[in-house]
């Protein structure tokens, strides 16, 4: 799934598309699933925003 990471008017990255993509796909999460976030957003986005929730879905 490809999602944009546009800039807001304040020049900050709008990561809401990333958060929404994870929310929509989390029902498919399973143990040993590899999730790759390739984006123009800053390093550490996944760990900072979603890692705990992704890990909570481990079977």
Q: Where are the beta strands (DSSP E) in the chain?
A: none
Please report, for residues 14, 28, 48, 59, the alpha-carbon distance to residue 45 in angstroms, rounded to integers and kept in the order given: 11, 21, 5, 24
Task: Give the tens place of pLDDT for each residue, 15-24.
Answer: 888 888 888 8
Task: Give the tens place of pLDDT for each residue, 3-58.
Answer: 888 889 998 888 888 888 888 888 888 888 887 877 777 788 777 766 766 676 65
Which residues on adjacent β-strands are paired with residue 13?
7
Q: Which domain holds residue 45?
A: 1-59
Which pLDDT does position 1 carry in this prediction? 72
Q: In total, how many domains does the chain have?
A: 1
């Amino acid at each position: 799934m490809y999602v944009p990471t546009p800039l807001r008017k304040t020049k900050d990255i709008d990561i809401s598309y990333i958060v929404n993509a994870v929310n929509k796909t989390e029902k498919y999460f399973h143990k040993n699933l590899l999730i790759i976030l390739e984006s123009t957003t800053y390093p550490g986005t996944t760990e900072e925003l979603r890692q705990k929730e992704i890990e909570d879905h481990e079977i």
